Amino acid sequence: MKTARTVFAGMGAAFALPALTALAAAPAFAEGSDPPPGSVTVEVASVSGPGCPTGSTGIAVSDDKSRMVVTRENIRAEAGGTSSPQAARVKCMLSIRVHIPADYTYAIRTFDYRGYAHLESGATGTLRSEAYFQGMPNPSPRIFTLNGPYFDDWQWVLPDTGPAYKPCGEQRSLNLTADLRVQLGTSDPSKKSYMEMDGREVYEFIWKKCPIASGGE
pLDDT, tens only, 52-109: 766 667 889 998 999 999 988 778 999 999 999 999 999 989 899 999 988 899 999 8
Check residue 7 and give its pLDDT: 46
Q: Domains for the chain: give ranges and CATH numbers.
A: 35-209 (2.60.120)
Q: Cα–Cα distance between 173 and 192 in angstroms, integer?
A: 37
Q: What is the pLDDT of residues 153-210, one digit of tens each?
A: 999 998 767 788 999 988 899 999 999 999 999 999 999 999 999 888 999 999 999 8
Q: Are 192 and 79 in contact (CB under 8 A)?
A: yes
> Phi, psi (5° rounding) for residue 20?
-60, -35
* pLDDT tens readout for residues 15-52: 333 333 333 333 333 345 688 888 899 998 888 887 77
- At 90 the pLDDT is 93
Integer Cα distance of 213 and 101 in angstroms: 8
Model pLDDT, residue 126: 97
The C-alpha atoms of residue 189 and residue 203 are separated, in whole angstroms, by 36
* pLDDT for 117: 98
